[in-house]
């Protein structure tokens, strides 16, 4: 689907790197399913989408992941159809899941959360992950993208003030003593030349390279 590759390039030019990555993930998945790098629009039909959905589920994908892949493929197919590059197929995506599953319980039981936060770990990297998990929880369920962009001047007189990275929404949180101690341990004693409080981002990369650096830090930091 050359149209998807063109769409991804457009997203990168618009600095929508996360959306471009999700398109790339969907394309890679369909390539693995199809067994070929060159996928024509004629290969996107009801007889191929239903088995593709079954393939994703059989390989451990959650329904929301299936939906994300299907919606990306649908978006590109619709663009190709508008430009006359793909045929119109009535209700093409009707029989595959493109919604949002919100009923699945995501929260860990209290006992498991406690074990994750208090278990003794020997590895410095695991300890870094453990502290990050604890602090994101103590900072009101902060997302990692907000956490790794925190700076020292976000903290003053026991209060954390920051703006959400995605929305710019101002946030204010009281910082408990235990969180202050953990923050000092994670930040270390050496001044971070990047300007960020925690050692995840170099502060030297911008644009797509900056997004890649953040994305590379994400699995290391939260243990995915």
Q: At which of 63, 82, 101 does a domain end?
A: 82
Which pLDDT score, from 0 to 100, does residue 106 have?
A: 65
Would you place residue 117 in the very low, low, confident or very high pLDDT band (cuts 50, 70, 90)? Answer: confident
Question: What are the φ and ψ backbone dihedral angles of 202, each rounded to 5 degrees?
Answer: -80, -25
Q: How many domains does the chain have?
A: 2
Order of strands, sheet of 159-163, starting from the edge strand that comes earlier in the sequence: 155-156, 159-163, 170-174
Looking at the structure, do residues 116 and 67 belong to the same domain, yes or no? no
Question: 64-73, 155-164, 207-216: which range is least confident on average?
Answer: 207-216
Residues 134-160 pLDDT 10s = 999 999 999 998 998 899 899 999 999
Categorise residue 91: left if φ over 0, alpha if ψ from -120 to 50, beta otherwise. Answer: left
Kindly state whether residue 206 falls inside one of the protein's structural domains: yes
Kindly state whether residue 48 falls inside one of the protein's structural domains: yes
Is the pLDDT higher at 156 or at 209?
156
Q: At which of 82, 100, 129 does a domain end?
A: 82
Segments forming the whole domain that contains residue 21: 2-82
CA–CA dist 51, 201 (Å, integer): 41
Looking at the structure, do residues 126 and 197 belong to the same domain, yes or no? yes
Looking at the structure, do residues 58 and 159 belong to the same domain, yes or no? no
As a three-state string, the secondary structure of the chain is: CHHHHHHHHHHHHCCCHHHHHHHHHHHHHHHHHHCCCCCCHHHCCHHHHHHHHHHHHHCCCCHHHHHHHHHHHHHHHHHHHHCCCCCCCCCCCCCCCCCCCCCCCCCCCHHHHHHHHHCCCCCHHHHHHHHHHHHHHHCCCCCHHHHCCCCHHHEECCEEEEECCCCCCEEEEECCHHHHHHHHHHHCCCCCCCCCCCCCCCCCCCHHHHHHHHHHHHHHHHCC
Looking at the structure, do residues 49 and 115 belong to the same domain, yes or no? no
Residues 160-199 pLDDT 10s = 999 998 889 999 999 999 999 999 998 875 555 667 888 8
Kindly state whether residue 204 falls inside one of the protein's structural domains: yes
Q: At which of 82, 102, 128 does a domain end?
A: 82
Looking at the structure, do residues 124 and 211 belong to the same domain, yes or no? yes
Looking at the structure, do residues 39 and 125 belong to the same domain, yes or no? no
Which pLDDT score, from 0 to 100, does residue 61 have?
A: 93
Question: What are the φ and ψ backbone dihedral angles of 174, each rounded to 5 degrees?
Answer: -75, 130
């Amino acid at each position: 689907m050359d149209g998807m590759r063109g769409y991804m390039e457009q997203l990168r030019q618009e600095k929508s790197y996360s959306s471009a990555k999700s398109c790339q993930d969907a394309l890679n998945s369909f390539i693995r399913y199809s067994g070929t790098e060159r996928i024509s629009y004629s290969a996107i039909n009801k007889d191929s989408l239903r088995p593709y959905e079954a393939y994703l589920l059989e390989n451990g994908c959650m329904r929301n992941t299936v939906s994300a892949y299907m919606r990306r493929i649908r978006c590109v197919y619709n663009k190709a159809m508008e430009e006359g590059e793909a045929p119109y197929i009535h209700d093409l995506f009707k029989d595959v899941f493109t919604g949002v599953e919100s009923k699945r319980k995501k929260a860990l039981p209290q006992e498991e959360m406690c074990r994750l936060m208090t278990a003794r770990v020997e590895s410095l990297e695991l300890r870094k992950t453990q502290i990050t998990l604890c602090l994101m929880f103590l900072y009101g369920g902060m997302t990692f993208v907000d956490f790794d962009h925190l700076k020292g001047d976000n903290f003053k007189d026991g209060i954390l003030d920051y703006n959400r990275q995605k929305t710019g929404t101002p946030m204010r949180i009281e910082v408990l003593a235990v969180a202050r101690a953990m923050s000092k341990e994670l930040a270390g004693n050496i001044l971070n030349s990047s300007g960020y409080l925690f050692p995840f981002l170099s502060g030297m990369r911008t644009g797509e390279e900056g997004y890649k650096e953040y994305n590379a830090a994400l699995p290391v930091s939260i243990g995915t």
